[in-house]
């Protein structure tokens, strides 16, 4: 599978599709190494969807896009684990978080361009843990989310994980 500009266009299309889903739960789509795209996945839970990381005949995931019903665009610990695990098998790999505002969709792509070793992954997860606690304990707070985004993005960029943010108008 060739991953380049055409692949991103496909991810944008999938993000718009997910962005149109109800805000009642998390929804996800997985793209596998042979180009197969999963149907929309949801267990109808507000935070979480089980991601089939590998599918017989299609290989392992190279991209996971999913919605965040709250305005949070920073990756959760689970999101980071998915990204790090995908990067064990392929690079580049893409993790996308999608949030739908009133009239636009925000897609944040985290792109791992090299394998992340377990010690690097543990360090990022350890540093990110406090934000998970704050989000669970106190709910979404923009100031905390902005600080999390800033700190996590600095850590991820040191690991050659690029962060790209796109906004699309709702149709």
What integer pLDDT is reported at residue 43 of this predicted model?
65
Q: What is the tens place of the pLDDT at every residue in 105-146?
A: 999 999 999 999 999 999 999 988 887 777 777 777 777 777
Domain boundaries defined on the chain: 5-169
**Which of 7-11, 14-18, 46-50, 144-148 has the least mean pLDDT?**
46-50
pTM: 0.87
Cβ proximity of 128 and 135 under 8 Å: no
Q: What is the tens place of the pLDDT at every residue in 29-82?
A: 999 999 999 988 886 654 555 677 778 889 999 999 999 876 666 788 888 999
CB atoms under 10 Å from CB of 107, counted, come to 22
What integer pLDDT is reported at residue 3 of this predicted model?
59
Cβ proximity of 86 and 113 under 8 Å: no
CA-to-CA dists, residue 20 to 28, 60, 79, 140, angstroms: 12, 26, 21, 21
């Amino acid at each position: 599978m060739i991953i380049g500009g055409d692949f991103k266009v496909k991810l944008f299309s999938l993000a718009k599709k997910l962005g149109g889903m109800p805000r009642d739960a998390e929804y996800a789509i997985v793209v596998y190494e042979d180009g197969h795209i999963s149907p929309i996945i949801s267990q109808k839970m507000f935070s979480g969807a089980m991601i089939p990381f590998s599918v017989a005949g299609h290989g392992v995931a190279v991209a996971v896009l999913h919605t965040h019903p709250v305005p949070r665009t920073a990756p959760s610990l689970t999101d980071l684990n998915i990204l790090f695990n995908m990067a064990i098998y392929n690079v580049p790999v893409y993790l996308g978080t999608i949030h739908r505002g009133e009239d636009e969709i925000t897609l944040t792509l985290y792109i791992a361009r090299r394998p992340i070793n377990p010690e690097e992954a543990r360090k990022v997860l350890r540093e990110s843990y406090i934000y998970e606690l704050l989000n669970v304990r106190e709910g979404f707070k923009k100031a905390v989310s902005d600080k999390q985004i800033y700190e996590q993005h600095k850590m991820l960029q040191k690991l050659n994980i690029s962060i790209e943010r796109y906004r699309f108008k709702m149709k």
